[in-house]
Amino acid sequence: MDIDPTLSKEIAASSGSTADIVARLEALARENAMALGRVDHVTRLPNRVQFVDDFAMQSKSGGNSRLILVTLADARHFNEILRALGHAYSEDFVREGAARLVAMLPDSVQLYHVSVLSFAFFTDGPQFAEPPPIVQEIVDRFREPIRCLDIPINSKVGVGISALDEGASTPSELLRSTLAAAQDSRRSFDGWAWYDKNSDEAHRRAFRILTDLPSALAASDQLSLHYQPRICMKRGACIGAEALIRWAHPDMGNVPPAEFVALAESTALITRVTEFVVRTAAAAVSAWQREHSGIRVSVNISPKNLEEPDFVDLLLWETEAAGVDPALFELEFTEGTLAANPSLMRDQLGRLRDKGFDIAIDDFGSGYSNMSYLSLLPAKYLKIDQSFIRPLESGRKNQLLVRSIIDMAHALDYHVVAEGIESRDIYNMLSGWGCEQGQGYYMSRPLTEANFLTWLASGPVH
Ligand code: C2E
Ligand code: MG
Ligand code: MG
């Protein structure tokens, strides 16, 4: 750290031993750094700004340098400490954690306090996959609780390691990727983790999907619905279609719905995704009635939507605005997720059913739902998961299983829909076992709205 020239004068004016002068010099340097925003006010360790400056020197020294990043707790755990014990105590916790780390490191190693709960330092390590020994020492040492005001608190550290010669081009990027490793380490048995490009890329892709989704929702040309015909097995006639969302991302290409819908479900964005789907599907099914009276649409609804107090109103509003009878509108909920909050789900589904919407349990058999609970849901359709249907030709066991699902569903008053019918033989089998409706590539893949209407005009499946 550079020392302010005014400090040099002060030191020159001070008297005492060399040790006094050095101590005073260091204290003044710290104050100076603090004034320049380079020292963390809680631990008085150099902060991220200082790290960024020092990184240039470190990276020049090259060799087998590693960056080690230690996070004392994950955000949830820290919030619990904050909530239970308050801010002052939480600062003590961070200070104690820092002191423990400083005590473990040789004097020559500088520890940086790079974010509220994270500390980083450079160290040299063996060339290959072995982590520097200090890493295991940290993991072991932090298994002991941190004591503040005599209260023992478990720290839940994460320890990430990055090699300086691998990829990261800037200090901020190096910190970010080592933090990603520290987060990954919470899932590892060892308690530490190397930076993992694949895991990091998956996280970054997920992050990009979530940050780009709002602009996709605002744009008119990125999100659309495709429609997969749903067939009455006996007549081969199309009775409706399942709306399936598609996202043509301008740079990433087509992003699969199973990927981005699942991510959106962890945020409030799912509300807007479902709003888009319901509005688009309502307008489409309304338009279809002119030429194909009675043709229906089904949409996939996230269970998160059912937790929104105004969701039923939204559905009523959108279908009414498009002039669609709710009886033409089916709502699909996946089996596993319906079981998450049984009483709320049952009440909300009951309200929807009362308003005239049909309910389907999607992907039946893919979860581990309690059958007696499912039988209480006010659903009309049970859609057997395609993982049961696609292998039907390959063995008697599968066939027995599907037959018994169909019989059981009928005994519980469900209509059965089979998903994933890919061949004429499977179609015939299911039809013979009394399965009422089906979807699958054998009849048609999901189609754009225009192609669906052309397909519809071509008549029943033979
Ligand atoms: P899902 O609701 O079970 O939809 C059926 C999926 O199986 C669709 O995949 C469809 O293209 C595919 N499929 C249909 N027939 C066949 C077949 O014969 N063989 C094979 N191999 N696949 C077939 P897609 O469109 O990729 O959607 C995947 C999942 O993403 C959907 O599963 C659903 O859970 C979710 N999803 C799609 N659109 C939406 C949406 O608008 N909202 C919500 N919340 N979820 C959606
Ligand atoms: Mg579905
Ligand atoms: Mg399904």
Q: Ligand 1, residue 302: give the atom nearest the CA.
A: 44
| pLDDT > 90: percent of the chain | 63
Q: Which helix (H) or strand (E) holds 438?
A: strand 437-438
Give yes or no for residue 365 CB within 6 A of ligand 1: no
Whether 67 and 122 have beta carbons less than 8 Å apart is answered as yes
319 pLDDT band, cuts 50/70/90, is very high
Please compute the mean of the pLDDT values over residues 66-76 and round it to a whole number: 92
- Pair of tokens at residue 164: 């300086």
Res 395: pLDDT: 82
Is residue 65 pLDDT above 90, yes or no? no
Q: Average pLDDT of 237-245? A: 98
**Average of pLDDT values for 198-227?**
93
Q: Which atom of ligand 1 is nearest to the CA of 243?
A: 41
Ligand 1 pocket, 229 CB below 6 A?
Answer: no
- What is the distance between the alpha carbons of residues 295 and 289, in angstroms, rounded to a whole number? 7
| Average pLDDT value over all residues in the chain | 89
Report, as an integer, the average pLDDT of 27-46: 82
d(C-alpha 46, C-alpha 196), whole Å: 27
Q: Name the closest-CA residue to atom 2, ligand 1.
A: 300
Q: Which ligand 1 atom is nearest residue 301's CA?
A: 44
Contacts of 140 (CB under 8 A, 6+ apart): none
pLDDT band (50, 70, 90) for residue 288: very high
Output the CA 363–ligand 1 centroid distance in Å: 10
Banded pLDDT at 434 (limits 50, 70, 90) = very high
**Beta-carbon count within 10 A of 226 CB:** 18
Q: State residue 37's pLDDT score.
A: 84
Q: Is the CB of 433 under 6 A from ligand 1?
A: no
Q: Tell me which residue has its CA closest to atom 34 in ligand 1.
A: 258
Give the Cα separation of 57 and 37 in Å (integer). 20
Please report how many Cα atoms fall inside a 13 Å half-sphere around the Cα of residue 299, on the Cβ side.
Answer: 28
* Half-sphere exposure in the Cβ direction for 89 (13 Å, CA): 17
Cα–Cα distance, 149 to 92 (Å, whole number)? 9
Please tell me the predicted confidence (pLDDT) of residue 313: 92
Q: Residue 1: pLDDT band by 50, 70, 90 thresholds?
A: very low
- Lowest pLDDT segment from 63-67, 112-116, 262-266, 313-317: 63-67
> Residue 85 corresponds to which tokens in the numbers above?
């014990």
For 142-186, write each residue's pLDDT tens digit: 999 998 878 888 888 999 999 887 655 788 888 998 999 999 999
Distance 362 CA to ligand 3 centre (A): 5
